[in-house]
Every structure is written in C-alpha cells, then in structure tokens.
Amino acid sequence: MANEKKIDCVILGLLSHEELTGYEIKKRMDKTLKYFWGASYGSIYPALSDLVNCGLATKREGTENKRNKLIYTITDAGRSYLKEWLALPVQKDELRYETLLKLFFGNEQNTEQALSHIKAFEEKIKKELPYLLEAEKALKDYLDEDTAHKYYLITVEFGVKTYRTYLEWCEEAKKILTDSEE
C-alpha cells in the first residue's frame, strides 16, 4: 500500500462504520468533512480501486431501487491499516486562505476593494454557519446514541467556534480599514 495516502484513509474511515458506494462517499464528505477535508470524484473512484487491489476493501455489485451500485466494504486488513494510520502523529495541518493573501497586499489596491474581500468572506461564513449549528444541535441531542457522535461533535465544535471568531475578525478588520480612512 502506498504510504499514508490521505484519501485512502478517509475512505477507509467512512467505510469503517458502514458499507458505501463511491457516490455515497462523496455525499458524506460534502456534508460533513468538506469543512476540513475536501475530495472530488476524480480522487475517490481511483482510490476505491486501489483499496480493492491492496485488499483493504472489497467491492460487490448490488441493486437498490432499480439502480445498480458498486458497494464497497472494509476488510480486516483495511481496519488494521486505518488503526495504524490513526495512531501515527499528524503530519500537516494546512490553511490556505486566498482572502488573507489579497488582504496582505491590500496596500496595492484601494480600501474599497479590500473591504469587499472581507465582506465576501463574511457572507460565505454567515451562509455556512447555520449548517454547522444544526449539526451541533443534532449531535448534542443524540450524543449517547452512538459512541462515535462525540468525535463528530468535536469537529463540529471546531467549525462553530472558528466561524464565530471569523465573524468577529471581519468586524475588527473592517474597523481597522474604515478608521484609518477619513
């Protein structure tokens, strides 16, 4: 198996508590993981083939509501591999915010432009925050139903807290720019 390819680990993680198709994996990721780990079909389907080739998952055909599906299941080897990866220290946490990049060079543009970048960022966050709050509520209500829920909650809390901080920062950033204008 290739060394610690993250997309493989993510998929194994998702498969570790239910069988899924490639399409469903993408949906799961778009709903819950996309805040800290994105993936496209172009990386998911090839990764699934690799996992099968390496014996970390198995593939079988299935039919559901008249639709043909390729259902993937994690193997024991897959579970071991996942556990080994989880035990290793984190290699990299990376943040790449183009918004901050453009603001950093704000002196080369006019104040209005910088403000509009901040406002666009603010709107995006305000649009996404309700989904996180919804997830937070659902997880808190059913925390005891599944031991996995507290781990999901931890990651959602990260999102809620940072998003609220982002909004506070937007206010402060706008203030710094408008105060210095007059």
Partner DNA sequence: CTTACCATGTAAGGCGTTACATGATTCA
Partner DNA sequence: TGAATCATGTAACGCCTTACATGGTAAG
Q: Diameter of the chain by CA atoms?
A: 67
Query: Quick check: 140 and 153 in contact, CB under 8 A?
Result: yes
What are phi and psi for residue 74, nearest 5 degrees?
-75, 145
> Which residues in the 141-170 window bind a second copy by CB under 8 A?
147-148, 150-155, 157-158, 161-162, 164-166, 168-169
CB of 28 to DNA, least distance (A): 12
- By CB under 8 A, is residue 76 in contact with a second copy? no
Q: Among 71, 106, 136, 138, which residue interacts with a second copy (rule: CB under 8 A)?
A: 106
What are phi and psi for residue 3, nearest 5 degrees?
-70, 100
The rounded distance, in Å, linking the Cα atoms of 34 and 44 is 14
Three-state DSSP class for residue 73: strand
Residues that bind a second copy (CB under 8 A): 6, 9-10, 13, 16-17, 32-33, 35-38, 79, 82-83, 86-87, 89-109, 113-114, 117, 120-121, 124, 147-148, 150-155, 157-158, 161-162, 164-166, 168-169, 172-173, 176-177, 180
